[in-house]
Amino acid sequence: MGQASSEASAGQGATRSLGLLVAAVGVVYGDIGTSPLYTLKEVFTGGYGVPVNHDGVLGILSLIAWSLIWVVSFKYVTFILRADNQGEGGVMALTALATRAAASRPRLKAMMVVCGLIGAALFYGDSMITPAVSVLSAVEGMELAFDGIDHWVVPIALIVLVALFLVQKHGTAKIGILFGPVMVTWFVVLGLLGLHGISQSPEVLNAFNPVWAVRFFIVHPGMGVAILGAVVLALTGAEALYADMGHFGRKPIARAWFALVLPALVLNYFGQGALLLQNPDAARNPFYLLAPGWALLPLIALATLATVIASQAVISGAFSLTRQAIQLGYIPRMQIQHTSSDEQGQIYIGAVNWSLMVAVVLLVIGFESSGALAAAYGVAVTGTMLMTTLLVATVMLLLWKWPPLLALPILLGFLLVDGLFFAANLPKVVQGGAFPVLAGAVLLVLMSTWKRGKQILVDRIDEGALPLPVFIGSIRVQPPHRVEGTAIFLTARADAVPHALLHNLLHNQVLHSQVVLLTVVSEDRPRVPEHERFEVEAYGDGFFRVLLHFGFMDEPDVPAALRLCHLDELDFSPMRTTYFLSRETVISSRLEGMSRWRGNLFAFLLKNANGNLRFFNLPLNRVIELGTQVEI
């Protein structure tokens, strides 16, 4: 009986592991999995001057294969995935770790914040380009199947992309179950196509020898570094491995990479290379020309579906990154809609969705082809990869306390390769790569302005703040009229009287029998356990100080958190509780701390930010807002 039970448990465990692996393939590897659609096409037709001959093809294939092994297999899968913030990954989670590691070094901490914001800003640039280039590259296969359809490629791609953004608000819970099987099918097809091509020219397997990559640099010294700007297209999506770790864990992601994704990608690239050895003219679209004629239309349909899934993963990643940045205080509060009652990570942020849609539509209309868009692609990807390396270096040396003799050679290897890829992509700035750079720069200014402005705002409010003990002492001397119920005043400072309380007392001349000064604390860890959520301190005379702790992946539901309080002294029943909020109106001035234009920008952001009422899920009919003006 016991043996049967253990066998059943083992079977369930194996089934769950397989399910996680398939799901990870669907969500994590969509972006990098669709790279074969355009990588070799861009290498040989993107104006780099790479000869489509034996040495040129084997040199490029060797560069691609060893880039996948070094950057993805070693750096991300084997190493970076271990830099988790309580199971969560991504540039913002890593920034929280790095700033914690550099807490005792203010300058280094500030540098880590800047690196994190740059990485996040460039990730948004990547989120704009990925859907556009992926779907365009898939639809362009129709040019091979039908003559004279060239002018329909852009409209069809736009229809697919707009439809993708329109369904976001409904969530992906129902169709998401198909993502894994579809992408597994995609990678199996990639591998089979590659094997078919390799069987025609087996000598292409010689490219596994890294000597071919070295020889390419020696023979083409001027072209060697520049071509990395196209080779990096094979690595797009590597950051998603780390960003999506919180959904699946490190092991399923790593197993899926080594068991399916890496072999399929390498086989397909080598299959395309074998085709080019036989037919150099196939460089115009080696991916689709690798397929037999009868398989072209089904392959176009599968590729379009795969690119839609890849785009979906990037869009969802942008939503998750935005929520993390909001909780960590780098982005104004926005309305976050949960699209699944089961999966906490499935969220929808309208402002981000529509902004991305507008950017993607403009990119498709402006660039018109995947080849033109590929020129803009690498800058955002390599910039994010470089920032990740700098952040993890701080974590490795200061938080993990690795011996420098062991850590530095690894980190220098990462920095050298990332630096070469980034340098190779810098010339692309004048070829269209300026778009993600400009988009990233704008987002960086917005995030840094918001963070700095909020700090100045808190400092200005604190200047005239009344210490809580002094206020309670005055209440004891001249007690005001007390009314039944609980008044909750939200305040950012734990030891001072909030302005809303002073305004309420001044205008209404009453205090509730229970007065709670509530501060919501955003931690630099993903989630806070329920037993650590609530802190309370009683001051006497019906005054209480309450701290609620939330992680950057938690939903900051204040009423639900207050229900965790089991103190008999406090009554948080909905019909006896009133929430008092302060709404600050910023007046930009020439006071020290922020330039006039940034002050105006912060005032605009503050005016349009989602208020505490919706963000903290407060009941609409139990909230009173009191305004105040602040000069910055």
Q: What percent of the chain has pLDDT over 70?
A: 92
Torsion 189-190-192-193 (CA) sign: positive
Asked if 588 and 536 sit in the same domain, the reply is yes
Residues 189 and 291 both lie in one domain: yes
pLDDT at 469: 80
> pTM for this one?
0.83
Task: Quote the pLDDT of residue 581.
Answer: 86
CATH number at residue 65: 1.20.1740.10
Asked whether the predicted pLDDT for residue 463 surpasses 50, the reply is yes
Q: Are residues 354 and 396 in the same domain?
A: yes
β-strand pairing of 543-550 with 577-587: unpaired
Residue 196 buriedness (CB in 10 A; 0-12 / 13-18 / 19+): middle
Per-residue pLDDT tens for 318-334?
Answer: 888 888 888 888 898 88
- As a whole number of angstroms, the distance between CA 372 and CA 341 comes to 41
* Residue owning tokens 């103190």: 567
Of the candidates 432, 447, 477, which is a domain's last residue? 432
Q: Are residues 425 and 574 in the same domain?
A: no
Q: Are residues 367 and 472 in the same domain?
A: no
In a domain, 425, yes or no: yes
Residue 577 forms part of a structural domain: yes
Looking at every residue in the chain, the average pLDDT score rounds to 85
What is the rounded distance in angstroms from the CA atom of residue 552 to the CA atom of residue 493? 19
Secondary structure of 429-479 in HEC code, one letter for each residue: HHHCCHHHHHHHHHHHHHHHHHHHHHHHHHHHHHHCCCEHHHHHHHHHHCC
SS3 172: coil
239 belongs to a structural domain: yes
What token pair was written down for 518? 């509530």
First to last CA, the chain: 73
pLDDT at 15: 67
Structure tokens at 378: 């690498």
User: Do 95 and 133 have their domain in common?
Assistant: yes
Please check whether residues 246 and 357 belong to one and the same domain.
yes
248/81 Cα distance (integer angstroms):
12
Q: Can you say whether the dihedral through the CA atoms of 80, 83, 86, 90 is positive or negative?
A: negative
| 146 phi, psi to nearest 5 deg | -130, 130
Q: How confident is the model at residue 404 (pLDDT cuts 50, 70, 90)?
A: very high
The answer to whether position 170 is within a domain reads yes
Asked whether residue 146 falls in the same domain as residue 289, the answer is yes
Task: Please check the confidence at residue 52 and state whether its pLDDT lies above 80.
Answer: yes
Residues 255-306: tens digit of each pLDDT: 999 999 999 999 999 999 999 999 999 999 999 999 998 899 999 999 999 9
- Which two tokens mark 471? 């206020």
pLDDT tens digits, residue range 234-261? 998 888 788 877 777 788 889 999 999 9
Supply the range of the domain harboring residue 548: 460-631
Please count the structural domains in the chain.
Answer: 2
Position 8 scores a pLDDT of 47
**Same domain membership, residue 411 and residue 341:** yes
Residues 468, 409: one domain? no
Q: Are 235 and 32 in contact (CB under 8 A)?
A: yes
Q: How confident is the model at residue 6 (pLDDT cuts 50, 70, 90)?
A: very low
Rounded Cα gap, residues 375 and 372, in angstroms: 6
Residue 584 has pLDDT above 90, yes or no: no
Q: What is the pLDDT at residue 589? A: 67
pLDDT band at 4, cuts 50/70/90?
A: very low
Q: How many residues does the chain have?
A: 632
Q: Which of 120, 123, 112 is nearest to 395 (CA)?
A: 112
Decide: residue 481, CB within 10 A, 0-12 exposed, 13-18 middle, 19+ buried. exposed
Both 402 and 539 in a single domain?
A: no
Tokens found for residue 598? 């940034």
pLDDT at 68: 96
pLDDT at site 495: 72
| Structural domain contains residue 441 | no
- Residue 620 banded pLDDT, cuts 50, 70, 90: confident
Rank 104-118, 148-162, 460-474 by mean pLDDT and report only the highest.
Answer: 104-118
**How confident is the model over 173-216, as pLDDT tens digits?**
556 677 889 999 999 999 999 999 999 999 999 999 999 999 99
Q: pLDDT digits over 112-158, tens only?
A: 999 999 988 888 888 888 898 889 888 888 888 777 777 888 999 99
Q: Find out whether 364 and 161 touch, Cβ atoms under 8 Å.
A: yes
- 445 within some domain: no
Question: Which of 36-45, 205-214, 352-361, 475-484 has the lowest average pLDDT?
Answer: 475-484
Last residue of a domain, one of 414, 432, 450: 432
In which region does residue 163 sit, left (phi positive, over 0), alpha (psi from -120 to 50) or beta (all else)? alpha
5 pLDDT more than 50:
no
Is pLDDT above 70 for 20? yes
Closest Cα partner for 29 from 241, 339, 229?
Answer: 241
* Residues 29/256, Cβ–Cβ less than 8 Å: yes
The residue that leads in pLDDT, 69 or 434, is 69
Closest CA to 163 of 308, 300, 306: 308
Contact call for residues 30 and 312 (beta carbons, < 8 A): yes
Using only C-alpha atoms, the chain has a radius of gyration, in whole angstroms, of 28
Single residue among 432, 448, 483 that ends a domain in this structure: 432
Instruction: Tell me the average pLDDT across 563-569.
Output: 75
Determine the pLDDT at residue 432.
67
Residue 13 pLDDT greater than 80, yes or no: no
Task: Give the pair of three-digit tokens for residue 590.
Answer: 């020439």
Same-domain check for residues 415 and 466? no
Q: Name the more confident of 116 and 463.
A: 116
- Are 435 and 364 in contact by the 8 Å Cβ rule? The answer is no
Does residue 344 fall inside a structural domain? yes
Chain segment 489-520, per-residue pLDDT in tens: 988 776 778 888 888 888 888 888 899 999 99
pLDDT (average), residues 55-72? 95
| Within-domain flag for 449 | no
> What pLDDT, on a 0 to 100 scale, did the predictor assign at position 59?
94
Alpha-carbon distance of 64 to 202, in angstroms, equals 18
On the question of pLDDT at 415 being above 90, the answer is: yes
φ/ψ of 533, rounded to 5, equals: -70, -35
Rounded-to-integer distance, Cα 245 and Cα 81, Å: 7
H or E, element range at 163: helix 153-166
